Amino acid sequence: MAEGPTVRALGEFGLLRRLRAKSPPLPPEVLVGMGDDAAIMQPSPGLALVATVDVLVEGKDFRWEWCPAEAVGHKGLTVSLSDVGAMGAIPKYALVALGLPARTPVKRVDGIYRGIWGAAEAAGVAVVGGDLSEASRLILGVTVIGEGEAHHLVRRSGAKVGETIWVTGPLGRAAAGLCALKAGYRVERSAVKGRRGTRIPPKARKALRGTMQAQLYPMARYREGRVLAETGIATAMIDLSDGLASDLTRLVEESGVGARILADRIPVDRSTRQVAELVGLDSVRLALGGGEDFELLFTSGASSTTVEEALVRKGFARPHAVGEMRAADEGLTLVGPRGKEQPLGKGFEHFR
Amino acid sequence: MAEGPTVRALGEFGLLRRLRAKSPPLPPEVLVGMGDDAAIMQPSPGLALVATVDVLVEGKDFRWEWCPAEAVGHKGLTVSLSDVGAMGAIPKYALVALGLPARTPVKRVDGIYRGIWGAAEAAGVAVVGGDLSEASRLILGVTVIGEGEAHHLVRRSGAKVGETIWVTGPLGRAAAGLCALKAGYRVERSAVKGRRGTRIPPKARKALRGTMQAQLYPMARYREGRVLAETGIATAMIDLSDGLASDLTRLVEESGVGARILADRIPVDRSTRQVAELVGLDSVRLALGGGEDFELLFTSGASSTTVEEALVRKGFARPHAVGEMRAADEGLTLVGPRGKEQPLGKGFEHFR
């Protein structure tokens, strides 16, 4: 851990001044940013507002032993960006609530904010305000406010029987990365390390790096979400934060339908398979139950070509059809490679 | 502490379902509330957006030994309402980030939400979303989004030399209440109790009850803030959350001016004086240094009559002139009853 002054030495107001001085410039639609009672923004005429909040807690959502401060900030913003993206809205503004122990080095706070600002800049999001308070462990809650045409925004509740279920990218990568981190692997400045004495097969290095980066620096698919909303292709959409099984359950419940997932259609990339093998886990299980991929899951009645073309034409990855919406009484099933059906299990849930 | 099932027994999704079922009805401008990736709201055409977040932490901002769950929820919303009110905006929407230990009784969560919903309903605010996560101690972060005409909203930076400094109500009440709670006094269903064997003077009961209620169930002055903004009376405004000395320091820094406060003009009500005497503290010190009154501090170049009439005519309490904005090089001074000047000290600051 970096040394230097702590948050206690600087105090709340000193820390606020420091952050304000380092804050990137704000776009013209932000009339007042940090430093007043509240931020003031000029919304785009005619657009609806979209707002969400998501929280990361030290020890639950990440561990300092493997998570750089910058990754905490990056991920803190990304989880909320992802929710706004899953509505098909354009993320615009963020507010950051940060609780910290007084012994936290100021450098760590700088790192967290570098991560937040970096992810925000990449998404065209202005960090317009926040709150600092003392907490026994780090807790980071980020509110993201976005905009979009009310008639384009995509809810969880619009899926219809017979529609195809799609995901925007490979699943299980972030879960594989988490397993690698828990098994003692680390990625430091692109170099991959294992526990002392661990021999890392050369072929596995790239897979370990890729999956650990996917866990530490996930990408939110708000640009893809926007395309799927504007084109009217997605009838229902959710971001995969808790895992395919858990998040599909919520979409199905909101839409009042059932669903069938084909196990051999679930996109699992080579890195995920390699890491799963290295740590002795089943890669399809990681894809089904592991969360934090932040790919979008959506349903559509459009043809495969239409759906694929809409994303590919805009430079995004080809999406994957993984199943079909069914009648509610069929429930939520997983069809194995040999046609055997079983109920789809549940993914991550807090407090359990 | 109330018994019954814990948050662990119910799980995150069970708790979410429970809260969603109990959630009050939403106004028509909320197109999607809880239960999707994000909320969708239809903003009022032509108005600017105002947004803020504020966090309460168990052990820092309140203690369970004296704070009912409902008061935690009430206060969690109020601190953010107060910030939106200090811009002169109309509070409209809230998002609630709640971190809890898994052992928390569900009844306690119900109480917190009763407090949030009660304060929200009174303010015409719709709770449109939130996030539940596991934390070692309770932490409650509330984002409030409001609206207002951009040209009416009042910043901290608009105060000019020569303008009068006003506060909307008596100060030190919440601080006196906090001292009473720390001294072992309690208010339970309007009955006031002290530590075993404490004799409470009959005259002090009302004062104890009033100040403890002010600490536990503070009121945000967003309605007064709105009047002061719409009429153009307030040139700069801030809510008194950290205490007169601290909050005035921030307003003065943002406005690039100095200020003189007259000690004998600071409104301290009888209850505060009585409780201060009971617990052996100076009531003016409580008014200067104690926070959480959530009265508004504002500056105005308008005549006393104009300022007072604007609020009184709308049914609000008569505001109090407490000092004057001075040139920046005069700094921030407190003039004692015998004309003696001294630098105004600082109030509460996190991490210190």
C-alpha to C-alpha distance for A297 and A325, rounded to whole angstroms: 12
Q: Is the pLDDT of residue A2 over 70?
A: no
The answer to whether the Cβ–Cβ distance between A146 and B38 falls below 8 Å is yes
Backbone angles phi, psi at B228, to 5 degrees: -65, -30
State residue A348's pLDDT score: 62
Q: Tally A–B CB contacts below 8 A.
A: 243
Q: Which of A249, A142, A61 is nearest to B17 (CA)?
A: A249
Average pLDDT estimate for A41-57: 97
The answer to whether the Cβ–Cβ distance between A97 and B53 falls below 8 Å is yes
For residue B134, the chain A residues in CB contact (below 8 A) are 57, 60, 350-351
First-to-last alpha carbon distance for chain B, in angstroms, is 31
The answer to whether the Cβ–Cβ distance between B146 and A38 falls below 8 Å is yes
Backbone angles phi, psi at B28, to 5 degrees: -60, -25
Mean of pLDDT over chain A? 94
Instruction: Write out residues 288-307 of B within 8 Å (CB-CB) of A.
Output: none
Which residue's structure tokens are 């980020």? A142
Q: Exposed e or buried b for every residue in B38-55, given b needs 16+ CB within 10 A?
A: bbbbebeeebbbbbbbbb
State residue B167's pLDDT score: 98
First-to-last alpha carbon distance for chain A, in angstroms, is 31
For residues A142 and A344, which has the higher predicted lDDT (pLDDT)?
Answer: A142
Instruction: Write out residues 118-147 of A within 8 Å (CB-CB) of B.
Output: 128-137, 139, 141, 143-146
Average pLDDT estimate for A274-285: 93
State residue A196's pLDDT score: 84
C-alpha to C-alpha distance for B329 and B256, rounded to whole angstroms: 10
Q: Which of B128, B133, B168 is nearest to B145 (CA)?
A: B128
As a whole-number percent, the residues of chain B with pLDDT over 70 amount to 98
State residue A203's pLDDT score: 85
The alpha-carbon gap from A274 to the nearest alpha carbon of chain B, in Å, equals: 32
- Give me the residue from A40, A48, A129 closest to B53, CB to CB: A129
SS3 state of residue A250: helix
Residue pLDDT, tens place only, B298-347: 999 999 999 999 999 999 999 999 999 999 999 999 998 888 999 887 65
Distance, CA of B300 to chain centre: 22
ipTM reported for the complex, 2 dp: 0.94
Average pLDDT estimate for B117-133: 97
The alpha-carbon gap from A35 to the nearest alpha carbon of chain B, in Å, equals: 8
The alpha-carbon gap from A56 to the nearest alpha carbon of chain B, in Å, equals: 8
The answer to whether the Cβ–Cβ distance between A51 and B143 falls below 8 Å is yes
Nearest CA in chain B to A13: B349
Instruction: Write out residues 22-61 of A within 8 Å (CB-CB) of B.
Output: 31-32, 35-43, 45-57, 59-61
The alpha-carbon gap from B46 to the nearest alpha carbon of chain A, in Å, equals: 7
Q: Is the pLDDT of residue B2 over 70?
A: no
Instruction: Write out residues 62-91 of A within 8 Å (CB-CB) of B.
Output: 82-84, 86-87, 89
C-alpha to C-alpha distance for A292 and A239, rounded to whole angstroms: 9
Whether residue A237 contacts residue A87, with contact meaning beta carbons closer than 8 Å, is answered with yes
Whether residue A149 contacts residue A47, with contact meaning beta carbons closer than 8 Å, is answered with yes
Whether residue B10 lies within 8 A of chain A, CB to CB, comes out as: yes
Provide the 10 A C-beta neighbour count for residue B124: 11
- Give me the residue from B49, B131, B250 closest to A53, CB to CB: B131
pLDDT band with cut points at 50, 70 and 90 for residue A260: very high
Q: Which of B70, B72, B74 is nearest to B62 (CA)?
A: B72
For residue B157, the chain A residues in CB contact (below 8 A) are 36
Q: What is the 3-state secondary structure (H, E, C) of chain B?
A: CCCCCEHHHHHHHHHHHHHHHHCCCCCCCEEECCCCCCEEECCCCCCEEEEEEEEEEECCCECCCCCCHHHHHHHHHHHHHHHHHCCCCEEEEEEEEEEECCCCEHHHHHHHHHHHHHHHHHHCCEEEEEEEEECCCCEEEEEEEEEECCCCCCCCCCCCCCCEEEECCCCCHHHHHHHHHHCCCEEECCEEECCCCCCCCHHHHHHHHHHHHHHHCCCCCHHHHHHHHHCCCCCEEEECCCCHHHHHHHHHHHHCCEEEEEHHHCCCCHHHHHHHHHHCCCHHHHHHHCCCCCCEEEEECCCHHHHHHHHHCCCCCCCEEEEEEECHHHCEEEECCCCCEEECCCCCCCCC
Q: Which of A305, A31, A175, A294 is nearest to B89 (CA)?
A: A31
Which one of A32, A36, A62, A77 would you mutate to disrupt binding with B, by most B Cβ within 10 Å of its Cβ? A36
Residue pLDDT, tens place only, B182-193: 999 999 888 899
The answer to whether the Cβ–Cβ distance between B49 and A41 falls below 8 Å is yes
Residue type (1 letter), A259: A
The alpha-carbon gap from A134 to the nearest alpha carbon of chain B, in Å, equals: 6
State residue B282's pLDDT score: 92
C-alpha to C-alpha distance for A269 and A272, rounded to whole angstroms: 5
State residue B203's pLDDT score: 85
Backbone angles phi, psi at B133, to 5 degrees: -145, 165
State residue B196's pLDDT score: 84
C-alpha to C-alpha distance for B218 and A152, rounded to whole angstroms: 41
C-alpha to C-alpha distance for A35 and B86, rounded to whole angstroms: 13
Which residue's structure tokens are 């692109």? A190
Residue pLDDT, tens place only, A7-42: 999 998 899 999 999 999 999 999 999 989 999 999
Average pLDDT estimate for A166-186: 96
Which one of B18, B49, B92 would you mutate to disrupt binding with A, by most A Cβ within 10 Å of its Cβ? B49
Residue pLDDT, tens place only, B213-227: 999 999 999 999 999
Whether residue A138 contacts residue A69, with contact meaning beta carbons closer than 8 Å, is answered with no
Distances (CA, A) of A83 to A42, A241, B156: 22, 9, 33
State residue B346's pLDDT score: 62
Residue type (1 letter), A134: E
The answer to whether the Cβ–Cβ distance between B349 and A131 falls below 8 Å is no
Q: In what order do the strands lie in the sheet with B139-148?
A: A30-32, A39-41, B48-57, B139-148, B90-100, B126-134
C-alpha to C-alpha distance for B227 and B214, rounded to whole angstroms: 23
Q: Is the pLDDT of residue A1 over 60?
A: no
For residue A57, the chain B residues in CB contact (below 8 A) are 99, 133-135
A127-131, A286-290, B144-148, B298-302: segment of lowest average pLDDT = A286-290
- Give me the residue from A42, A60, A352 closest to B150, CB to CB: A42
For residue B12, the chain A residues in CB contact (below 8 A) are 349-352
State residue A347's pLDDT score: 56
Nearest CA in chain A to B104: A351
Mean of pLDDT over chain B? 94
- Give me the residue from B37, B43, B254 closest to A52, CB to CB: B37
Q: What are the structural domains of chain A?
A: 7-148 (3.30.1330.10), 164-343 (3.90.650.10)
C-alpha to C-alpha distance for B237 and B229, rounded to whole angstroms: 9
Residue pLDDT, tens place only, A203-254: 899 999 999 999 999 999 999 999 999 999 999 999 999 999 999 999 999 9
pLDDT band with cut points at 50, 70 and 90 for residue A188: confident
Instruction: Write out residues 100-119 of A within 8 Å (CB-CB) of B.
Output: 100, 102
SS3 state of residue A132: strand
The answer to whether the Cβ–Cβ distance between B37 and A87 falls below 8 Å is yes
Q: Is the pLDDT of residue A337 over 90?
A: no
Nearest CA in chain B to A157: B36
Residue type (1 letter), A317: A
The answer to whether the Cβ–Cβ distance between A51 and B155 falls below 8 Å is no
State residue A131's pLDDT score: 95
State residue B199's pLDDT score: 86
Q: Is the pLDDT of residue B108 over 90?
A: yes
The answer to whether the Cβ–Cβ distance between A37 and B12 falls below 8 Å is no
Provide the 10 A C-beta neighbour count for residue A20: 11
What length is written for chain B? Answer: 352
For residue A349, the chain B residues in CB contact (below 8 A) are 11-13
C-alpha to C-alpha distance for B19 and B9, rounded to whole angstroms: 15
Whether residue B151 lies within 8 A of chain A, CB to CB, comes out as: no
The answer to whether the Cβ–Cβ distance between A54 and B15 falls below 8 Å is no
Nearest CA in chain B to A41: B49
Q: What is the DSSP string of A72-109?
A: HHHHHHHHHHHHHHTTTPEEEEEEEEEEE-TTSBHHHH
Nearest CA in chain B to A349: B12
Residue type (1 letter), B302: A
SS3 state of residue A276: helix
- Give me the residue from A83, A254, A351 closest to B38, CB to CB: A83
The alpha-carbon gap from A198 to the nearest alpha carbon of chain B, in Å, equals: 34
State residue A6's pLDDT score: 95
For residue A44, the chain B residues in CB contact (below 8 A) are none
State residue A9's pLDDT score: 93
Checking B28-33 for CB contacts under 8 A at 24+ apart, the result is B29/B92, B30/B93, B30/B126, B30/B128, B31/A48, B31/A150, B31/A153, B32/A153, B32/A155, B32/B128, B33/B126, B33/B127, B33/B128, B33/B129
Q: Is the pLDDT of residue B50 over 90?
A: yes
For residue B27, the chain A residues in CB contact (below 8 A) are none
The answer to whether the Cβ–Cβ distance between A87 and B38 falls below 8 Å is yes
For residues A13 and A104, which has the higher predicted lDDT (pLDDT)?
Answer: A104
A114-118, A161-165, A329-333, B201-205: segment of lowest average pLDDT = B201-205
Q: Is the pLDDT of residue A202 over 80?
A: yes
- Give me the residue from A36, A250, A352 closest to B155, CB to CB: A36
